[in-house]
Every structure is written in structure tokens, then in C-alpha cells.
Amino acid sequence: MLNARLNIRDINKSYAEPVLKNVGLSIGVGEVHALVGENGAGKTTLARILAGLTDCDHGKMWLDGEEYSPKNVTDAMSAGISLAAQEPASIDNLSVAENIGLRQIPNRYGVIDRVQLDLITRKALDFVGSDILDSNIKCRDLNIADRQLVELGRVLADTSCLVILDEPTASLTQPQTERIHKILRDLAANGTSIIYISHRLADVLDVADIVSVLRDGQIVLSEQANLLTTDHLVAAMAGEGLKRREAMVCNQQKGRPLLRIESIATENLAGPISVTGCEGEIIGLAGLAGSGRSELLHAAFRAKKLTQGRIVRIAETKEVELKSSYQAVNNGVAFLGADRVSMSLFPGQSVKTNMMLPGDRKNFTPFRRIDRRKERKSTKEIMTQLDIRCSSVEQDIDELSGGNQQKTILGRWLNSDADVLLLNEPTRGVDTRTKKTIYDLIFELRNSGKCIFVVSSEIEELFLLASRILVLSNRKVVREFERNHWTETAILTAAFSEFTKDFRQEAGE
């Protein structure tokens, strides 16, 4: 029996909703412990708590028998815990060497000791088998796989007692992955404990000693890896048989087609993908983070360059090929980005301005005078309808809660003449009450004959909303489910399908 390196008990964390509920784990010395789970199950939050990036609401942790409560990253690092983040956090304008040595750049009276720095960098890069020759190259010039290796090198070359890797192999090729796995096993043999978070179930079973499954913020399974198969894991993540919200009856008749995606592909989306969206239809796009579901939505809006295919908007009398996102908007296609702050909000402006901005795009005349009375009136109507809480229509949008901001932005499309709505995570970061309001709104828009595409990390949300669901896995559309023909297990299996394939078999074929 291994000694426990890290013990955590009753960890709780809530944002708008509880993310982690009474999580307890024990990680032994020299153990590779994998954490798997659906999107939003709480894996990354747990990693961030351990690395001192976030604090937990309550709960206790012990590291090597001593109580451990990091207040910040420095605390965690000096305790010997380091994290390789999901998104490589490299500083673009610094060189590879400077990034790797950033925490403690060797210097003499503040002047960087180049020779020493290069030595450290070389060691780190060789350690992870990176083929970057020039350590003075700027990080912005690296591709995503190289950045990931730099991040891994930075973390792994340091001597830590616990290393947390969040999706370490997401962008790596199979040989690179194998090399990293070998390093992890060597490190573990020397007593380093490793927490390995990944969607790639084949990778997980390959490298881990113990696998724990998180579902809805709780550990539902903790088992030795050699006793598990990917099927076990998918079943545990899905947790079929638990209470599921009853799907709303929606056998709405499909109307005429509104948007046709014709065999498209992009740099990050293996094509050809074809989908046609019709009047009164909600199309759900499911998949794991990085599966290409957002990419598909962006491509449909022409916010991503297409390598093949075309997007056609079918208006009442004519068909228009969409060539830019401006053209898309002007032809009644609306888009909601996943990141509210950077993609949707106009900070420092009033609720009214934020809601009314896109306005009537079909009859656009720049010098037309705005009817301010009408604008106030329709803002107030939408505010009542969506139960948006603010002191007045003139209140600054920054002063509203996240849920109210989200409703304001969605309210835009009630006021617009858009017929096709592309919504990326429409309920991200809002509370349950607001979610319900947003669902009602989406149904209402559908009933009024709009065609809606919804990308969501929450499968339940898609079950509730969608008329049909397309599942993406590893940048491909792998399956399509009609309403009443899906189960959570089937969708999850499809979502993991391109990640569970054993690459070695593929290579042997």
C-alpha cells in the first residue's frame, strides 16, 4: 500500500451553481491518478483549487500529513505542487527560454544569465523530447503542440512532489503522447505523484494507476485502471438512471429550410459537413471541449475561414451565399459568442444600448434618426418579458449580474429580424432560474419560426431544447440523433468515440 501524498476531504465550491460537492480523494506517493468526467463535471476547478488559483468554499486538504491551504500559486509551488494548464499559459512575447525560466530567471544583479537560462531550458526541452532547436524563439511563433510541450517541460523538469496535468496531450501527436506517458511513469517511479486530467480515455487507461470519475461535482467512481474499460468510464460519467428532466413536447412541424451548410471544412474541422436548418427547428451541437462544436458554429457564421464548401442563406424569394459575417448578419443570421464579455457586451453602455444595438439590419440607413421613445418602450417590454433586473433602461450594463447581462444580450434577438440564431453556450454562468427563462425564450423564438443552432456543454440542456443533436468528436461530426432516439450514454459514447480509438491500432492498419 502506498502512503498518501495528498488527502482532500469535503471540498465544496460554488459559482452560480455548486461545481464541487463534498469531493474527497486520496493520492498516494508515486501514483498516477487520472480524473475524468463530462464537461463541467468540476475537474478543472478541482485542479485550480489544488494549484492555489482558486480557493474552495470549505473543505480540507493535507499534503504529506500536513494541512495544506494555498492562498495563491506561490504557496502551492513552494509546497511542491505545480500545474500544467489546459490552455498553455505561455507569454507570447517572451522566448521559450524565458517562459520556462520565468518563475526564477537566473540573473546576476538583475541582468539575465543567458548561459544558465539556456542550460535550464535545454534540460526541460530535452526532458519532454521537444525538437525546438532554438530556445530563443518567441512563444508566439510556436504551434499549439510545441507550446504544450514547452508548458509540460516547464512543469515536469522542476522537481515537484505533486504535478497536475490538465489535458496534457490534447494537441500532441501519438509519439509525443507516448513519450510524455513514459516520462510520467518514470517520475512516478521516483515518487512524484501525478494528477492526470483528460478526455482521452485510451490515454487515461494507458498511463494511470487509479482512475476517478467526477460527475456533477461528485466522485462517483474510484478504481484501479487495470480493472476498467472505456465503457465502464463512459457509463460512470453518464450516470444513466438518475433523475432526468422530462423533455418538453416539441413535435413542431419543420418548416422550410433557412440555412444550408454545404459540405464545409475549416482548418480545425474535418469536413465535409453538411447540415440544413429549417424553420421552427433547434439543432443541438454536442461534443467535448475542443471537439470542434464552436468551430462549426463560427464557420456557419463565416467568422472562420472555410477551406471548402459554402454557407447558403435561403430567404423567402432568393438564395444568398454568405461570404462574411457582416453579410450573415445583414441576411438575418445572428450569433451569440460563448464569451459574453469579449464577444457580446458593450461595456460602459446602458442596458438599452446593449439591447438595441444590432437593431434592424435589413433597412439600414446610417443617418436615420433613432426613435428614442420606441427604443425605450421595446427595451422595457423585453425587460419585463425576460425578467431582467436593473434600476432603469439607462443603467450601465457592467452593473448587472451575469444572468441579467446574458438575458439582455439574448433580448437583442427578440428585437431583431434575424431568422437564424447561432447560440454558443447560451446559459453559461447563469443560475437555474435564469436558465429557465432563457429556455423559455429559446422555445418562444423557435415557435415564432426561427431556426436555432445551440452549442452546449450540458447534455441535459440539449435534451431539453433540441429537435435533433449533432455530435462532434475530435473535429468531426460523428453522429446525428433525432429527438426520442438519443440516450446520454449513446451521445457520450459518440462524443468520446474519436478520442477512445487506440492510435496504435490505427497506425497498424
Partner 1 sequence: MEAFKTIRCHLEENFIFVSLVLLIGFFGLVADNFLSLVTLSTVLNQLPALTVVTIGLTMVLMVSGIDLSVGSVLGFSATIVGVTLTGLGLPLSIACFAAVAAGLLCGLLNGVLVSWLSLPSFIVTLGMLEMARGLAYIASNSQTIYIGPSIQWIALPLPYVGVSAALFIAILLVIAGQFLLTRTVLGRHLVAIGSNEQAASLSGIDSRPYRLGVLAFSGAMAGLGGIFNAAYLGAADPNAGIGLELSAIAAAVIGGTSLMGGRGSILGAFAGVLIISVLQSGLVQIGATEPTKRLITGAVIVLAVLVDRWRVKERLRS
35 grid coordinates: 480524473
Q: Which of 10, 17, 231, 399 binds partner 1 (CB under 8 A)?
A: 399
Instruction: Please identify, using beta-carbon distances, which residue of 110 and 366 lies nearer to partner 1.
Output: 366
Alpha-helical runs (H) found in 448-473: 459-465
Residues 351-370 that bind partner 1 (CB under 8 A): 353, 356-359, 361, 364-370
Taking a C-beta distance cutoff of 8 angstroms, is the pair 196, 186 a contact? no
What is the DSSP code string of 225-284? GGG--HHHHHHHHH-TTS--PPPPP--PPP-SEEEEEEEEEETTEEEEEEEEEETTEEEE
Q: Which of 12, 26, 276, 330 binds partner 1 (CB under 8 A)?
A: 330
Q: Which of 170, 188, 205, 345 binds partner 1 (CB under 8 A)?
A: 345
Instruction: Please identify, using beta-carbon distances, which residue of 113 and 396 lies nearer to partner 1.
Output: 396
Residues 78-107 that bind partner 1 (CB under 8 A): none
Rg (the chain; Cα; Å): 25
Verify cis geometry, omega within 30 degrees of 0, for the bond prior to 272: yes
Instruction: Please identify, using beta-carbon distances, which residue of 60 and 361 lies nearer to partner 1.
Output: 361
User: CB of 300: closest distance to partner 1 in angstroms?
Assistant: 13
Instruction: Please identify, using beta-carbon distances, which residue of 218 and 349 lies nearer to partner 1.
Output: 349
User: CB of 272: closest distance to partner 1 in angstroms?
Assistant: 25
> Interior CA angle at 326 toward 330 and 456, to 5°?
95
Q: What is the maximum span of the chain, computed from C-alpha positions, in angstroms? A: 77
Q: Of the ranges 2-10, 90-98, 349-357, 434-442, which one interacts with partner 1 (CB under 8 A)? A: 349-357
Taking a C-beta distance cutoff of 8 angstroms, is the pair 280, 265 a contact? no
Q: Which of 134, 348, 484, 508 binds partner 1 (CB under 8 A)?
A: 348
> Interior CA angle at 196 toward 101 and 242, to 5°?
145
Q: Which residues, in sequence order, are bridge partners of residue 333?
A: 420
Taking a C-beta distance cutoff of 8 angstroms, is the pair 93, 137 a contact? no
User: CB of 209: closest distance to partner 1 in angstroms?
Assistant: 44
CA 315 to CA 246: how far, in whole Å? 35
Q: Which of 89, 242, 315, 343 binds partner 1 (CB under 8 A)?
A: 343
24 grid coordinates: 474527497
User: CB of 412: closest distance to partner 1 in angstroms?
Assistant: 8
User: CB of 332: closest distance to partner 1 in angstroms?
Assistant: 10
What Cα–Cα distance (Å) separates residue 16 from each residue in 106, 434, 458, 464? 43, 11, 15, 20
| Amino acid (one-letter) located at 126 | D
Residue 337 makes contact with partner 1 by CB under 8 A: yes
User: CB of 416: closest distance to partner 1 in angstroms?
Assistant: 9
User: CB of 423: closest distance to partner 1 in angstroms?
Assistant: 12
CA 8 to CA 164: how far, in whole Å? 15
Instruction: Please identify, using beta-carbon distances, which residue of 6 and 422 lies nearer to partner 1.
Output: 422
In eight-state DSSP terms, residue 48 is H
Residues 410-429 that bind partner 1 (CB under 8 A): 412
Residue 373 makes contact with partner 1 by CB under 8 A: no
29 grid coordinates: 506517493
Distance of CA 369 to the CA centre of its chain: 41
Instruction: Please identify, using beta-carbon distances, which residue of 270 and 303 lies nearer to partner 1.
Output: 303
User: CB of 450: closest distance to partner 1 in angstroms?
Assistant: 17
Instruction: Please identify, using beta-carbon distances, which residue of 71 and 369 lies nearer to partner 1.
Output: 369
CA 307 to CA 487: how far, in whole Å? 33
User: CB of 322: closest distance to partner 1 in angstroms?
Assistant: 11
User: CB of 353: closest distance to partner 1 in angstroms?
Assistant: 7
User: CB of 299: closest distance to partner 1 in angstroms?
Assistant: 14
Residues 123-182 that bind partner 1 (CB under 8 A): none
Q: Which of 104, 109, 189, 347 binds partner 1 (CB under 8 A)?
A: 347
Burial class of residue 174, CB neighbours in 10 A (0-12, 13-18, 19+):
middle
Alpha-helical runs (H) found in 279-366: 293-300, 325-330, 340-343, 351-356
User: Nearest-CA neighbor of 331 among 422, 465, 466?
Assistant: 422
Q: Which of 45, 148, 193, 344 binds partner 1 (CB under 8 A)?
A: 344
Residue 21 makes contact with partner 1 by CB under 8 A: no
User: CB of 336: closest distance to partner 1 in angstroms?
Assistant: 8
Residues 247-306 that bind partner 1 (CB under 8 A): 301, 303
The secondary structure element, H or E, covering residue 335 is: strand 333-336
Q: Which of 190, 251, 342, 505 binds partner 1 (CB under 8 A)?
A: 342
User: CB of 303: closest distance to partner 1 in angstroms?
Assistant: 7
Q: Please tell me the count of residues contacting partner 1 according to CB under 8 A.
A: 35
Taking a C-beta distance cutoff of 8 angstroms, is the pair 475, 292 a contact? yes
Q: Of the ranges 34-42, 105-113, 393-401, 477-485, which one interacts with partner 1 (CB under 8 A)? A: 393-401
User: Nearest-CA neighbor of 299 among 288, 285, 318?
Assistant: 285
Instruction: Please identify, using beta-carbon distances, which residue of 189 and 370 lies nearer to partner 1.
Output: 370
Distance of CA 401 to the CA centre of its chain: 22
Binding site for partner 1 (CB under 8 A): 301, 303, 325-326, 328-330, 335, 337, 342-349, 353, 356-359, 361, 364-370, 372, 396, 398-399, 412
